Amino acid sequence: MRIGIDISQIVYQTGVSRYIVELVKHLLKIDDQNHYFLYGGSLRQRQLLNAFVCQVKTPQVTSRLTRLSPKLADICWNRFNLFKPDCCQPLDIFHASNWALPKTKAKLITTIHDLTFLKYPQTHTPYSVAVHTRHLTRAKKYADRIIAVSGSTKKDLVDYGIPDRKISVIYEAPSRIFKPLKDLKQLRAIKAKYHLKTRYLLSVGTQEPRKNLKRLIKAYLNLNLTDTPLVIVGKFGWGDKTDPPPNVKLLGFVPDEDLVGLYSSAQAFVYPSLYEGFGFPVIEAMACGCPVVTSNCSSLPEISGQAALYVNPLSVTDISHALKLANELGSEKRQSLIQAGFAQARQFSWEKTAKETLKLYQEVVKC
């Protein structure tokens, strides 16, 4: 097969970016029979695309990098059907991103990570809502198959009117780097780098309304935990910038190498998101041996199983109660949650994701 994949989303360095990076890397690990054409475009961050292509470059990989940014791709592909990806070479499969979906002669697959833009439009910019709505409309009309990253996302797609038979659930996974960091010297160095005490509660995610940081901070302040700061990791996305009160630390973007240490040292990981299609940070924290507090909605119970403490994300009181429990975990209960988290995280792997995705490509080509 000749398989085209849009890798443009790599430039955003978000969960969707991680999906593209890991999927392509693991497809190339398990498949030496097919040829891959990697398409990507960016006006200002082509170096990220170039660096990734260099990492995966083999005789079975051809790259097509342009200055067509994701926003321009939306205009050219979603609105006007310009610059078809197979205009220069024939393709059997084209795997589109969750941003732009071209019209092509190849069999068309796209991954939809969540429908937050429909369920909680107030947590997105108007432009983001418009782009994702266009993509979903085109996916319903043109895609031969849609990959949903959880059963929860599939249900949302079915509720939107997309036939069940057109949707395949293929889960994402934590990267291999996420495992317990036990080297005390490294752990001390990472905590010193970010000026952290021995005990802290951790939250990870792009700073945007959907992540529910205002309620999280309010719930934390209700407890007056002077000896246990709340540490929030993640770059600013959009919305009102959080002005951190005393004992709340905003670290911004943290590289994975340091994030592993932050997960491994935290008293607990707290993720009261309003809605997630999958929820990478939850499974990353579990893989690192960190007890998890998360929301009782969307995909989060599906992904977390019996390995988390659950909260109603709309209730500050509920979040405060769970934070108090997490901060006061006895050794037995803590170890029980950690071991359950390890078992839960082992259910997800990028090798499995790649195998199921490649099988889907083969099935769609035969149709």
Q: Is residue 203 part of a domain?
A: yes
Note whether 83 and 205 are same-domain residues. Answer: no
Note whether 129 and 196 are same-domain residues. Answer: no
Secondary structure (3-state) at 146: strand
The answer on pLDDT for 105 being more than 70 is yes
- Percentage of residues in the chain with pLDDT exceeding 70? 98
Q: Is residue 39 part of a domain?
A: yes
pLDDT tier at 240, thresholds 50, 70, 90: low
Quote the mean pLDDT of the chain. 92
Note whether 162 and 195 are same-domain residues. Answer: no
Please tell me the chain's helix, strand, coil percentages from 3-state DSSP, rounded to the nearest 5: 45, 15, 35
Query: For the chain, how many structural domains are there in total?
Result: 2
Note whether 119 and 188 are same-domain residues. Answer: no
Domain limits for position 253: 184-345
Nearest to 98 by CA among 28, 50, 160, 148: 148
* Residue showing tokens 């000026």: 195
Q: Is residue 82 part of a domain?
A: yes
pLDDT tier at 349, thresholds 50, 70, 90: very high
Cβ–Cβ under 8 Å, residues 115 and 136: yes
Please report, as a single letter, which amino acid is at residue 178. Answer: F
Token pair listed for 332: 């037995």
Note whether 333 and 206 are same-domain residues. Answer: yes
Note whether 65 and 106 are same-domain residues. Answer: yes
Q: Is residue 306 part of a domain?
A: yes
153 vs 157: CA distance, rounded Å:
6
Note whether 62 and 139 are same-domain residues. Answer: yes
Residues sharing a CB contact under 8 Å with residue 141, sequence separation 6 or more, in sequence order: none
Q: Is residue 178 part of a domain?
A: no
DSSP structural state of residue 333 = H
Amino acid 235: pLDDT: 77
The string of DSSP codes covering 87-107 is SSS--SEEEE-SS-----SSE
Note whether 273 and 353 are same-domain residues. Answer: no
Q: Distance between alpha carbon 28 and the CA centroid of its chain, in Å?
A: 21
- Percentage of residues in the chain with pLDDT exceeding 90? 71
pLDDT tier at 203, thresholds 50, 70, 90: very high
Note whether 264 and 291 are same-domain residues. Answer: yes
Q: What are the φ/ψ torsions at residue 291 (nearest 5 degrees)?
A: -60, 145
pLDDT tier at 82, thresholds 50, 70, 90: confident
The answer on pLDDT for 255 being more than 70 is yes
125 vs 120: CA distance, rounded Å:
11
Amino acid 238: pLDDT: 65
Cβ–Cβ under 8 Å, residues 78 and 47: no
Amino acid 12: pLDDT: 78
The answer on pLDDT for 339 being more than 90 is yes
Token pair listed for 221: 């302040």
> Which range has highest mean pLDDT (77-91, 190-204, 231-245)?
190-204
CATH no. for residue 131?
A: 3.40.50.2000
Note whether 353 and 294 are same-domain residues. Answer: no
pTM comes to: 0.92
Q: Is residue 179 part of a domain?
A: no
Q: Is residue 188 part of a domain?
A: yes
Q: Which range, of 23-37, 76-90, 214-228, 268-282, averages the lowest pLDDT?
A: 76-90
Note whether 93 and 225 are same-domain residues. Answer: no
Note whether 336 and 355 are same-domain residues. Answer: no
pLDDT tier at 146, thresholds 50, 70, 90: very high
Q: Is residue 358 part of a domain?
A: yes
Amino acid 239: pLDDT: 63
Contacts within 8 Å (CB) and 24+ apart, 11-18: 11/42, 11/45, 11/48, 11/49, 11/70, 13/48, 13/235, 13/253, 14/206, 15/113, 15/172, 15/278, 15/280, 16/97, 16/98, 16/113, 18/172, 18/175, 18/280
